[in-house]
Amino acid sequence: MTLIVILLNAILVDNFVLSKFMGICPFLGVSKKLDSAAGMGAAVTFVMVCATLCTYPIYTFILVPMGLEYLKTIAFILIIALFVQLVEMVLKKKVQSLYNALGVYLPLITTNCAVLGVTILNVDKEFGFAESLVNSLGGGLGFTLALLIFSGVRSRVSNADVPEMFKGVPATLIAASIVSVSFMGFSGLFG
Amino acid sequence: MAEKTVQKQENKGMLKELTKGIIKENPTLVTLLGMCPTLAVTVMASNGIGMGLATTFVLICSNLVISLLKNVIPKAVRLPCFIVIIASFVTLIEFLMKGYLPELYDSLGLYLSLITVNCIILGRAEAFASKNSVLASVLDAVGMGIGFTLALFAMGSIREIIGTGKWFGIDLHLPVTMTLFIMSAGGFFTLGVIIALVNKIAGKSAPAEVGCAACPHAENCPSYNKTEDKKEAAAE
């Protein structure tokens, strides 16, 4: 039961993009088209879950016993960078079709704050292994959901007649603020 | 005499490195980098300044070290090297802040660690510090840091005053406050309005794209490449 609560909480209530402001760059940069939004979302979800799969054991079995918790930022970002590189290489060699779909988004993910954010958040909230994985999955799905919704909103905004000074990024940000208001409706859903 | 002119010109060049980050290439409001901390921590003016100064510290130190090491770091592994240097300084500032400013440390929380992946820092390392002299890199970092801090301070002030009717915790006795401004929706809204105003004042039309050009991954980024293709097509 708690796992489901964590999952829904991460997708809807604590949405990474719209309430925690993580991964704003891809949210604004890659949300112009539905298919690229879906590709980026899938890549981020995949890397988030796998990064948690790697960082959790390293934190619990190496950093904590040796009293090196303060090195978690350095350790996690290196693991993520390494992992992204590895996934890119493996996909390129072995799974060509998946590489074509996700490949272009992978290098961007190293510096995506949502990925580093979710791994540190799991440690800060003292989640267990299963809870961490579910939280990461929820975070990734929430990110994808926000990107998909926003790509739809954005295609309408780009056709709208906005004042000259608001054209481009300002109009996009204000549209994002309205989408964010709609997600506020979920707050307090699980107490 | 001639020497003096050269010196003067050099000084002018150096001054430009310092001032460009504050107004002309303001990282948040013009090149649109580092949006996550800009939106996330600016619920209070003091938080904005704290985040801005912490980022400035990391930016100066990492620019300094990277420009010192620019000939030692192999090109193929430069990004991981930059990230490790940046993450080390972030860990340092985390310790310092935890020790001396525990309140600020608590209110910035997770976002302090996330300075590591702030595009401004990696972007400046890649676009400037790895190609320029030590002095120019430090001046560039100071300018960019001040620009970032000012933008965060402005955001934080607007959101704190409208959202809570206070400024640095001092009650301003405003008749109306809108709590929405200290929530996430208010962050997007305030930033959108500020960028629109900056565009209006700067007298140019809004930048069509989010500022990906300085991002170290720009060459791999689908949205950035698309605009480049368009520009090339237009040039042809």
Q: ipTM of the assembly?
A: 0.84
**CA of A156 vs chain B CAs: smallest distance (Å):** 16
**Which positions in chain B touch A48 (Cβ < 8 Å)?**
none
Asked if B114 and B91 count as a contact pair (C-beta separation under 8 A), the reply is no
How far is residue A154's CA from residue A162's CA, in Å, rounded to a whole number? 13
pTM of the predicted protein model: 0.83
Q: In chain B, which residue's Cα lies nearest the Cα of A122? A: B110
Mean pLDDT of chain A: 85
Work out the average pLDDT over A18-28: 82
Which residue out of B62, B117, B209 would a mutagenesis test of the A interface target, given it has the greatest number of A Cβ atoms within 10 Å? B117
Contact A73 B39 (CB under 8 A): no
The HSE-up count of residue A76 (CA atoms within 13 Å, CB side) is 35
Angle at A21 between CA A181 and CA B26, to 5 degrees: 110
How far is residue B84's CA from residue B80's CA, in Å, rounded to a whole number? 6
Asked if B211 and A168 count as a contact pair (C-beta separation under 8 A), the reply is no
DSSP bridge pairs for B170:
B167
**Which positions in chain A touch B193 (Cβ < 8 Å)?**
170, 174
For residue A132 the two structure tokens come to 């961490």
Nearest CB neighbour to A112, from listed B109, B117, B210: B117
Instruction: Give the whole-number percent of chain B exceeding pLDDT 70.
Output: 81
Work out the average pLDDT over A136-148: 92
**CA of B234 vs chain A CAs: smallest distance (Å):** 20
Q: Is the model's pLDDT at B27 over the cut of 60?
A: yes
Residue with the two structure tokens 């890649």: B126
Which residue out of A36, A40, A174 would a mutagenesis test of the B interface target, given it has the greatest number of B Cβ atoms within 10 Å? A174
How does strand B166-167 pair with strand B170-171?
antiparallel
Contact B94 A112 (CB under 8 A): no
Quickly state the pLDDT bin for B58 (edges 50, 70, 90).
very high
**CA of B15 vs chain A CAs: smallest distance (Å):** 30
Which of the two residues, B202 and B49, has the higher pLDDT score? B49
Nearest CB neighbour to B114, from listed A28, A117, A164: A117
**CA of A9 vs chain B CAs: smallest distance (Å):** 16
